[in-house]
Structure 1
Amino acid sequence: MSSDAPLLATTGIGKRYGQHVVLRDVGFQLHRGESVAVIGENGAGKSTFAKIITGVIRPDSGEMWLEGRPVSFRSPRDALRHGIAFIPQELAYVPYLTVGENIMLGQWPSWHGLTSHALTLRRAREASERIGIDLDVERLMVSLKLAERQIVEIVKALSRDARMIVLDEPTASLSEQESRTLFAILERLTGEGVGVIYISHRMDEVYRFSDRVDVFRNGELVASVPPSQTTPAELIAHMLGQEKEEFVHGTRTSTEQSVIELRDWKRAGIPNLAGVSLAVGQGEIVGVYGVRGSGAELVAEGLGGLHPEISGTLVVEGRSGAIFPTPVEARRANIAYVPPERKRDGLVLMLPIQANMSMLILRQLARIGVLRSRLERDQAADLARRFDVRFRRLGQAVGQLSGGNQQKVLLASRMAAQPRLLVLQEPTRGVDVGARVEIHKFLTEIADQGRAVLLVTSDLEEAVIVSDRLIIMRDGAIVGELRGPSKTQANAIALAAGSAA
């Protein structure tokens, strides 16, 4: 075995399900102390490849080598025995065991044949100290935030002498500060020679942390390049197999005619609202940005009828009234709300595409109380074309679609009722870069039709690019409004962080 052999190498890795080819002839290398970002559209094969190299699934073809030795993993436990750990999006842990017990799960130390709780906690503490993290090993896992649980998973992997860690979208649900903490830990690990592979949809992470970017498209590894030698536009072109046009908008001027006005919205508690007033004009996209706890999410949820406890006035097309007490009242006012958690709050995953698209307009599709199936199907087909939903058939369950296509179905279902105001909360969370660009274009087209759009997002790049006006919130209050040349990420961050001059 050569001392220069890669930590991990693969050649010819292939995987298919029936006639559907998921991976084709993938050759990959990872060296000790190297961090590789893996990007690609949903369905490109990223997660399948990650699961193959960590023993979750078996490849149909190809070979793998670990430091020059051929290997074949039968299970994740087998891969872990070889020093390869997988940290998926959906973390596996025992909620009512302690942090220390979860770290040492499966390898609890014993004393004279009896499990030693004290020794378990001590070894867990030693494992966390290795990466400079002061974990309270006696806390219950159920009490931890997601970011803390991810750190526990990393410590757990290191306690088993992992020399390679694979993470699937580790920051998808983390705040900016939590993401920075996670990457600081990963940087310490690569400094100690641990190899890191992480799947990401965030370009800023790719440029901030990775030594190399590998791009998957249609089951193939189509590009492998250091981030310093490429641009985001080039990476997107690799992902999509075409030159991607620059998508920059957010240049409309506000109209005199307001579709909606919020006046002096207040709410006690955490997060709070402290007298928020704003308006959205016809044909305008207004962005609302703030860090977690800023109150920005309450604005979207309040317009969706989810917070009747908010006080203040709501003016809809010139008619003044109270906050909507229910989502039904919001829809009656011609307002469509797109929630941030599509699987939990926006879609019924086991139902077909056409049923999800029509669920909010059943009365319009019925005659004397009977649903007109052909009309429902035609309506769904038209919406699917307009929003470029990729599917096998309209009767396909939404849960079988990729994240980007699920989000398009969600957006189409809300637009089916032809609302005057579209309120979106985190509309591109968990979708690939290609779907993200498409969704941004849909929002532009919706505004161009004369509809009002309120975009509440914690994605700063999205907030700056998409919005015509960008409202910044902090501690429940509006602290600034940006438009034109002043609408930059630097200005938005300064206002959100309270550091603006």
Structure 2
Amino acid sequence: MTTVFEKTKGGGPARSQGIAIGFHGVSKHFGSTTALSDMSFDVRAATIHALVGQNGAGKSTALGVLAGRSPPSGGSVEIFGEAAKLSDPRRAHEAGIVAIYQELTIIPHLSAVENVFLGQILSYGGFASPARMKARFRELCGLFGVSIPADTRARYLSVADQQILEIMRGVQSDARILLFDEPTASLAPAERRALFRLMRDLRAAGHTMVFVSHNLDEVFEIADDITVFRNGQMVASKPAAGWSKGTLVAQMLGESMTDIYRRREASVPFGGDVLKARNVSVPGAIRDVDISVRKGEIVGVAGLAGAGRTTLLRALAGAESKATGSLWIDGAQHSWPRQPKEARRLGIALVPEERKTDGLVLGMSSSENIALPRLKGCSTLGLLSDATLKEATEAAAFTFGLNPARLSEPVRNLSGGNQQKALLARWKYSPPTVLLVDEPTRGIDIGAKAEILDALRLFSDLGTGVVVVSSELEEIVSIADRVIVMAEGRKVKELVADRNEVSLSRILSAAFDLEDHHV
């Protein structure tokens, strides 16, 4: 029986042997900037091939070349052994190449079925046939193992379902090669697992996929082969089995994981408690959690997914209206904040997990985003001055390695790492007493991770109390002076770095083995 996955241009699974993509000395220049230099590597057919490297290493540019968005300045590309002129997206589409980007191309006001058949309408007797398209859509849903209402407007669907519509569109168009650029950045764990199942099904049916991700655990989970880019060049390419995380990082950066996650000791003595919270509870999420942080101290909050880490930070930041508890700031007791603006008045600031939707105003410039808590200070008679904004925020941006020349650009144009630096620069510009940071390095390349961790230590060195949540336990171990471990909405253990208690094994043991905990 033929499935949708077997129906590919040029014979589908018959193409499962040999080389699907060949880069031969490919270069790409943007003015005087060289994005790709003499790039050569192969992608085997019917495999999932990961491209890894720091921001600016050339990964997305390579995808752009394949997708026809960035025609190469030199060299050649072969698709299944034939020279391909990928001068524009239409040519790439004709070659059987479809790209699925982190920023989806779904049309919000169109229905799910209309998005899938965008530009490839099925007809009957020379007229568009909604019945044929809906029947085909239901078939696609069955084969993809999803249930998406055909007539629902795309704006009402989850990010995961919108992404599946994009993949359906690509498969329906007879794509032989699918390009994924950071496909899991906006997905919950269950949605990520569903995407990976779908990618494995596509691979089994003969499709070839090129996958870009900053998450090395994901790369090792899904990829057959891994190619490392550095400074616009290919530095190594081989099967995933031939790599370890340590050797991969060493090739990406020229330094080891030990250097990235080196222990960062406090440089100044801790002061008294700047924040103390007792019996923090949010119905259905966390209960009776105690937490404190001293001046200049970094407190890590660790635990498995669903343990309540993010809810705790949101409660402290006034973003959980049903939160209860007792709160002291600098030794003075205060009513529990019910809104973020109330928490800000107390000196509590939050860098949220979802920086694009909850932290930044994407249409504003970087300087406006940095100055957001004190915009009035950059205005005259109610009018903002770009020059005043830039001058006021330059020092904060420079502190965190954000190029001041980019301050006038819309913040949406910045990489994930630079967007996070802009958020951190905001709280350098308007210093809080307590800084809450949720998943500070999510979606950020390995090189920028070290800079972000150094930035958190800088805040603590300046006397700010910092509370950080991270799913990357190596980050918690490398930076935290004290670690609170949570499980099932409760605080189950507290570990102190000065007593040599903070380690991966102790954190994991505390998170998994609840019956042995006595806090």
- The answer, yes or no, to whether TM exceeds 0.5 is yes
Q: Which segment drifts farther, 292-301 or 485-494?
A: 485-494
Pairing 1:83-482 to 2, within 5 Å after superposition? 83-95=96-108, 97-130=110-143, 133-138=145-150, 140=152, 141-241=154-254, 245-249=259-263, 257-268=272-283, 272-289=285-302, 294-348=307-361, 353-361=366-374, 380-392=393-405, 395=408, 398-474=411-487, 476-481=489-494
The alignment yields a C-alpha RMSD, in angstroms, of 3.8
Q: Give 1:493 shift.
A: 8.8
d(CA) in 1 for partners of 2:363 and 2:100?
Answer: 27
d(CA) in 2 for partners of 1:56 and 1:159?
Answer: 21
d(CA) in 1 for partners of 2:129 and 2:407?
Answer: 56
Counterpart of 1:442 in structure 2: which amino acid?
A
d(CA) in 2 for partners of 1:101 and 1:370?
Answer: 44
Counterpart of 1:197 in structure 2: which amino acid?
V
Counterpart of 1:248 in structure 2: which amino acid?
R
Helix, strand or coil: the match of 2:19?
coil
Counterpart of 1:229 in structure 2: which amino acid?
G
Q: Which segment drifts farther, 392-401 or 424-433?
A: 392-401
Change (3 A) 1:216 1:177: same
d(CA) in 2 for partners of 1:70 and 1:439?
Answer: 43
Q: Give 1:497 shift.
A: 11
Counterpart of 1:495 in structure 2: which amino acid?
A
Could you tell me whether the CA contact under 8 Å between 1:470 and 1:487 is conserved in 2? no
Counterpart of 2:223 in structure 1: which amino acid?
S
Change (3 A) 1:413 1:496: farther
Helix, strand or coil: the match of 2:373?
coil
Helix, strand or coil: the match of 1:388?
coil
Q: Which segment drifts farther, 376-385 or 111-120?
A: 376-385
d(CA) in 2 for partners of 1:54 and 1:363?
Answer: 44
Helix, strand or coil: the match of 2:138?
helix
Q: Give 1:312 shift.
A: 2.1
Provide the identity percentage. Answer: 34
Matched, 1:495 2:495: no
- Count of aligned positions: 498
Q: Give 1:199 shift.
A: 0.6
Counterpart of 2:263 in structure 1: which amino acid?
H
d(CA) in 2 for partners of 1:177 and 1:499?
Answer: 27
Change (3 A) 1:355 1:481: same
What's the CA shift string for 1:446-474, capped at 9, x where partnerless? 33444321113344554454434443445
Counterpart of 1:297 in structure 2: which amino acid?
T
When normalised by structure 2's length, the TM-score is: 0.82
Aligned residue number for residue 6 of structure 2:
none
Aligned residue number for residue 4 of structure 2:
none
Q: Which runs of 5+ in 2 are unaligned?
A: 1-9
d(CA) in 2 for partners of 1:54 and 1:372?
Answer: 40
Q: Give 1:202 shift.
A: 0.7
d(CA) in 1 for partners of 2:474 and 2:163?
Answer: 25
Could you tell me whether the CA contact under 8 Å between 1:124 and 1:159 is conserved in 2? no
Q: Which runs of 5+ in 1 are unaligned?
A: none
d(CA) in 2 for partners of 1:118 and 1:489?
Answer: 57
Q: Which segment drifts farther, 83-92 or 147-156?
A: 147-156
Q: Give 1:309 shift.
A: 4.1
Change (3 A) 1:363 1:116: closer
Q: Give 1:164 shift.
A: 1.3
Counterpart of 2:261 in structure 1: which amino acid?
F
Helix, strand or coil: the match of 2:454?
helix
Change (3 A) 1:368 1:182: closer
What's the CA shift string for 1:220-277, capped at 9, x where partnerless? 222223333333343333333556724233788x979322122223334xx6443333
d(CA) in 2 for partners of 1:136 and 1:355?
Answer: 39
d(CA) in 2 for partners of 1:485 and 1:227?
Answer: 34
Counterpart of 2:203 in structure 1: which amino acid?
T
Change (3 A) 1:499 1:108: farther
Helix, strand or coil: the match of 1:392?
helix
Q: Give 1:89 shift.
A: 0.6
d(CA) in 2 for partners of 1:46 and 1:281?
Answer: 42
Helix, strand or coil: the match of 2:328?
strand
Q: Give 1:135 shift.
A: 3.2
Pairing 1:12-51 to 2, within 5 Å after superposition? 12-51=25-64
What's the CA shift string for 1:356-408, capped at 9, x where partnerless? 44443567889999999999766644334432223536555544433312321
Change (3 A) 1:98 1:370: closer
d(CA) in 2 for partners of 1:410 and 1:350?
Answer: 15
Could you tell me whether the CA contact under 8 Å between 1:36 and 1:198 is conserved in 2? yes
d(CA) in 2 for partners of 1:227 and 1:7?
Answer: 18
d(CA) in 1 for partners of 2:428 and 2:335?
Answer: 24
Aligned residue number for residue 72 of structure 1:
85
d(CA) in 1 for partners of 2:262 and 2:143?
Answer: 45
Counterpart of 1:135 in structure 2: which amino acid?
S
d(CA) in 1 for partners of 2:226 and 2:506?
Answer: 26
Q: Which segment drifts farther, 164-173 or 377-386?
A: 377-386
d(CA) in 1 for partners of 2:466 and 2:444?
Answer: 20
